[in-house]
Structure 1
């Protein structure tokens, strides 16, 4: 798959995910999607505890840090895989 094809599939998967309701997705799936999206679009997470730190952001940051070893390409592929598996159900 070329980089352009991967980018197109990633964008399509993101649009599908954007139309899903949070209530329809388990929280662990939401966290994985968040982490793969952030890794794919911003690269590895930088941990920065601010005064606005809360538990929700801690879970999101932790999910992102756990996959920070993946490349942008791998993160996009994983994101697409999750969306495709959800569509199969």
Structure 2
């Protein structure tokens, strides 16, 4: 059974995560490719967890994105959301 405090914390985390995602989605400034890969990987892990899928016919850019996501294998979705939020605070 999930406690009410745990449910409240998850709602707060989801709200903060969505706000961070909106903030980064609306950025006008250029962000370094390695930082964008981190955002991508945290986003995928936060939303899909370890449910990896990759098309072997994909381009090099897609391969880099997939590799960044796979490096987070085993990270919980909650932890990925927290990491995304922390990274977004730098912008």
Q: What interval of TM-score do these two structures reach, taking the shorter chain for normalisation?
A: 0.7 to 0.9
- Which of 11, 15, 23 aligns to 2:22? It is 15
* 1:85, distance to aligned residue in structure 2 (A): 1.9
SS at match of 2:90: helix
Specify every segment of 5 or more residues in structure 1 that has no aligned partner in the other structure, as ranges: none
Q: Provide the TM-score with structure 2 as the length reference.
A: 0.84
Is 1:68 equivalent to 2:73 in the alignment? Answer: yes
Q: Provide the TM-score with structure 1 as the length reference.
A: 0.86
What is the Cα-based RMSD across aligned positions, in Å?
Answer: 1.5
- How many equivalent residue pairs? 84
Distance 2:48 2:63 in 1: 18
